Amino acid sequence: MKKSIRVFSPASVSNVGPGFDLMGFALNGIGDEIEVSLSNKSGIKITKITGDNGKLPYDTEKNTATVAIKSLLAKHKIKVGLEVKISKKMGIGSGLGSSAASAVAGVAAVNELLELNLTRYQLLEHAIEGEMIASGALHADNIAPCLFGGFVLVRGYNPIDIIQIDYPKNLFCTIVYPQIEIKTCEARKILDKKIDLKNAVAQAGNAAGLITGLLTKDFSLISRSIVDWIAEPKRASLIPCYHEVREAALQNGALNCNITGSGPSMFAFSNSKLRAEAIGIAMKKAASKKRLESKIYISKINDKGPVVLK
């Protein structure tokens, strides 16, 4: 048995337009790294956190990674001493599944280190426990794609039912991440508790259309289905450059443009790398006109999920 292991877990786009709390996909290139080591001392201890600008707690009852790990160990009645190092490779409160990436990396690392051979479904319930610490609500549209990879539909929560959806392999995603922070728990508070029947029907139609478009590789259907009638109308006000960024993406050939998760990051789909890059330049320029610094990421959908680095 190894004495330590390091795991990378990817960032993710959630909601994906009409899929509020139901849809998400994993990204390449950005995410979190967690190293878990066996310790002679009992219990779990966070020994180092980097890349968070001092924002994340060392308290293992409040950190998403260690809450997830503790849930796993308790379920399987495992008593072991562990030391945890967390390296944030993405923004906190970015809308790109930062807390989900840490929770998934934590349980994936422990599963490998202790040679538990648990399935991803078995890891899922514990990763969700970690995510709930950050968001204050049960949702798996970041956790599931981060853990399973690919494009994921969370069909239901009682019991949780994860469906991986096929998609066009030439589908590219451009992300603009304005350098502001939006906490998921706060962004959920501004949402309406009840929705109009007309909006519910429109949302369901778009969700069905998006899934159908992905499965049939119909880019036109994907384009016209990425419309959110529930969260986006409320959350757009939290992002100062929302309208400018969306318009810039559409004018440069994006299939559509939408908020990822609670924001402030926004994503745009396109069907080529060159177009995705041009869209990124335009989105960044639009954000800068509102005096917002931003980062751009361009990625295909990541099919792998978490990977062991050593």
Strands 44-50 vs 81-88: parallel, antiparallel or unpaired:
parallel
Cross-strand partners of 178: 294
Q: 24: Cβ–Cβ under 8 A, 6 or more apart, which residues?
A: 12, 13, 14, 15, 16, 97, 141, 142, 144, 145, 146, 151, 152, 154
Catalytic residue among 66, 174, 184, 260: 184
50 included as an active-site residue: no
252 backbone dihedrals φ, ψ, rounded to 5°: -105, 20
d(CA 242, CA 1) in angstroms, rounded, equals 49
Which amino acid makes up residue 25?
F
What's the alpha-carbon Rg for the chain, to the nearest Å?
19
User: Residue 247 catalytic?
Assistant: no
Active-site entry in 131, 174, 232, 260? 131
CA atoms of 93 and 77, how far apart (whole Å): 33
**Catalytic annotation, residues:** 131, 184
